[in-house]
Structure 1
Amino acid sequence: MMASTHHYEAAAENGEAMAPRVLFITRKWGPAVGGMETYCERLTEELAKLGPIDVIALKGQSDGQPPSVLSLLLFPLTVLAALFRLKTPPAIVHLGDMAVWPLAFIALAFAPKAKVIISAHGTDVAYGARGGIKGGLYQLYMKLGAAFSKNAKVIANSRATKARLNQIGWNCDAIVPLATDLLAQPDGDFNSKQLLFAGRLVKRKGLGWFVNEVLSLLPNDLRVSVVGTKWDESEDAALEHPQVDFLGSMPQAELAQQFSKAACVIVPNIDPENGEYEGFGLVACEAASAGGLVLAGKTGGLTDAVQDGQTGFLIEAGNAQKWAAKVAQVLSQSPEERAEFLTTSQSLAQEYYSWNRVAKQTSQAYS
Structure 2
Amino acid sequence: MRIGIVCPYTWDVPGGVQVHIRDLTEALTEEGHHVSVIAPAADNAPLPPYVTSAGRAVPVPFNGSVARLSFGFLSANRVRRWVREGAFDVLHVHEPAIPSLGLLACWVARGPIVATFHASYGNSRSLSVTASVLMSALEKITGRIAVSDAARKTLVEFMGGDAVLIPNGVTVDRYAEGEPLPGWDQGEVIGFLGRMDEPRKGLPVLLEAFVLLAAERPALRLLLAGPGDAAEVLERVPAALHDRIGLLGMVSEEDKVRAYHTVDVFCAPNLGGESFGIVLTEAMSAGAAILASDIPAFRKVLDDGQAGALFETGNAESLARRAAELLDDPARRARLSQEARAAVRKYDWSTVARDVLRVYETVASSAGVEEDAEGAEGAEGTEGVGSDEGTVTSRGWAEGNDTP
Pairs within 5 Å for 1:1-367: 9=1, 22-26=3-7, 33-48=14-29, 52-55=33-36, 57-58=38-39, 60-61=41-42, 62-63=44-45, 67-69=55-57, 72-73=71-72, 74-86=74-86, 90=89, 92-98=90-96, 99=98, 100-108=102-110, 111=111, 114=112, 116-122=113-119, 129=124, 140-141=129-130, 144-146=133-135, 149-150=138-139, 152=141, 153-181=143-171, 182-185=174-177, 191=186, 193-201=188-196, 202-212=198-208, 215-216=211-212, 219-221=216-218, 222-230=220-228, 237-240=235-238, 242-243=240-241, 245-249=245-249, 250-271=251-272, 277-299=273-295, 301-334=297-330, 336-349=331-344, 351-366=345-360, 367=362
C-alpha RMSD of matched pairs (Å): 3.8
- 8 Å contact kept, 2:292–2:309: yes
1:297 Cα shift?
0.8
2-structure distance, mates of 1:254, 1:26: 25
Give the TM-score normalised by structure 2. 0.67
1:29-68 Cα deviation digits (max 9, x unpaired): 7566443333223213323455755535246333459831
Matched letter for residue 106 of structure 1 = V
2-structure distance, mates of 1:330, 1:95: 41
Q: Which sections of structure 2, spanning at least 5 residues, go unmatched?
A: 48-52, 59-69, 363-404
Matched letter for residue 24 of structure 1 = I
Q: Which sections of structure 1, spanning at least 5 residues, go unmatched?
A: 1-8, 10-20, 130-135, 272-276
- 8 Å contact kept, 1:193–1:263: yes
2-structure distance, mates of 1:209, 1:337: 24
Cα separation, partners in 2 of 1:352 and 1:95, compared to 1, 3 Å:
same
Matched letter for residue 42 of structure 1 = D
Cα separation, partners in 2 of 1:341 and 1:296, compared to 1, 3 Å:
closer
Larger radius of gyration: 2
Matched letter for residue 193 of structure 1 = E
1:241 Cα shift?
6.0
Cα separation, partners in 2 of 1:265 and 1:146, compared to 1, 3 Å:
farther
Look up the match of 1:18. none
Number of matched pairs: 326
Look up the match of 1:14. none
2-structure distance, mates of 1:41, 1:234: 31
Give the TM-score normalised by structure 1. 0.72
1:294 Cα shift?
0.9
SS at match of 1:104: helix
1:187 Cα shift?
7.2
2-structure distance, mates of 1:237, 1:119: 39
